[in-house]
Structures are given as structure tokens and as C-alpha cells.
Amino acid sequence: MTSAEKGVVYLVGAGPGDPELLTLRALRLLETADVVFYDDLVPEQILALAQRHALVTSVGKRCGRPRISQAGINALLIESARAGQSVVRLKSGDPLVFGRAGEELAALRAAGVRFEVVPGITAALAAGAALQLPLTDRNSASKLIFCTGHHADGKQAAPLWRGPLPTDATVVVYMPGRDLERIARELAEAGVAGDVACCAISHAATERQSWVAARLDGLAKVECGPAPVLLVVGRTMAPLLAADRPEMLAGLFVSAAGTAEEVDPR
């Protein structure tokens, strides 16, 4: 049976937030680790799975204002492992998808600290499952593209995509921000047709989930729910706009729960 080893750092994916979507390995590491450093988007229900004597500490970032710098997080991981503790670095979704894992892994390698990456369900896959719609389809979407609307501090925002987007792709935008007019314009400039369906889903696969759908040419007017938000664009989302699918139209609302703010889950 899996248990966290002393002196090892585990970069663990917490998935979209539902504890039942954790992997068994992630659960067993949480139950046995001495230290857990977690991001802001990891919910209390998952943190409660840590062993009762574990040191559980937030190292999250909100609205680009870090509670601790990335260098500080790296130092905590290294110091804890060198002190002979077993360490879980708990990240929302999957550690290797927009999670700054590269910086932490590089620091651990340079310090000679043993580590392991434990994958989790990334938000795009959770959103597709929650909407009960495929992200790929052999008739309309043979490609799946992940991109982000969030950029490193001090870095000038670049377009979501340079050049024409494949017409047979589903595009998933992590952390799109609140300026959907800019996102819509950039997608249109990349060749996405105005009638392509878009879905902005808030808190995908959690109890707070809500979503709103529109064609690309109406995306700028969409009021999406509180962060974290994921934007899914592609022909596979078309059923969300079908007037003859009342069960789909029932999702055309935005939850009023919480205050809308953009969150960096890393």
C-alpha cells in the first residue's frame, strides 16, 4: 500500500475539487504525508483528508498577489525534505498543466531532492464530463488545444494563438480572465467562425458549478460565474445552444455565489 516516504516531495494533482475524483495514490499520500503545501483552489474537503498530525499550509496565489513567492515555495519544499519529512505539494487539477510544476521540479533537481509527480484530473476533462459532452469527436473535432489567458507577472499578454486555428479543434482556455471581448476577438482573428459554440464553466465538477453558453459572435456579452473559470470553444459544444435540448438550456445561468475574481491556481 502506498505511503509517503521521508525526504521525498510529491507533486500531487488534487483534480477539479471533488474528493471522489482524487486518484487512490493521491489519497494515500495525503493520508500519510508529514507536510502538505496546497494551492488556493484546493477545497477544504480534500485538505481534510490529510493525516491529523500533518502540517497543512497554504502557499496559494490570488489575483496575481502571492502569499509567498515561487522561490519561497521552492525553498519550503527543499527544506522540509532535507529535514526528513515526507512532503505533498498539492496542486489543483493536474500538476503538469498550467501549474508551475516545471519551476518546482527544476529546483528539486538542482537541490538533489527526490520527487515524484502524481497526476490529477485537469479542469478541461472535468468540464467535459460535467457537461456530458466530448472534447473530441471523429466528425468535428480531431484536435484538442489547451491554452491560457494568464501570463507571468510583468510579462506582456500575448495572443491566445498565433496564426490560423485548425477548424477541427476544440480550444480550452484556462484562466481566461473577465475580458471575454478580447478572447472572442482573438479567436475570430485566428479563424474561428462566429457560429461556433462557446461555454464558460465556473467551478467545473464541483457543487458550485455553473455555466453559460453562447456563439463566438455573442461571447463578449457573456457574464460568466466566479473564478476559476474555463472557456471551451468548439463544435462539440453545439448541443448547449440547441433549442430542442431543454436539459441543456437549463444550464444557461451564472451562479451568484461568491465574488468574481481571477485566481491563479499555481
Q: Which residues are catalytic?
A: 39, 61
Whole-number Å distance between alpha carbons of 138 and 131: 19
Q: What is the CA radius of gyration of the chain?
A: 19
DSSP 164: P
User: Is residue 210 within 8 Å of residue 255, measured between CB atoms?
Assistant: yes
Question: What are the two backbone dihedrals, phi and then psi, of residue 2, each rounded to the nearest 5 degrees?
Answer: -65, 135
Residues 6+ apart with CB under 8 A from 236: 133, 134, 135, 136, 137, 140, 141, 170
Q: Which grid coordinates are listed for 99?
A: 501549474
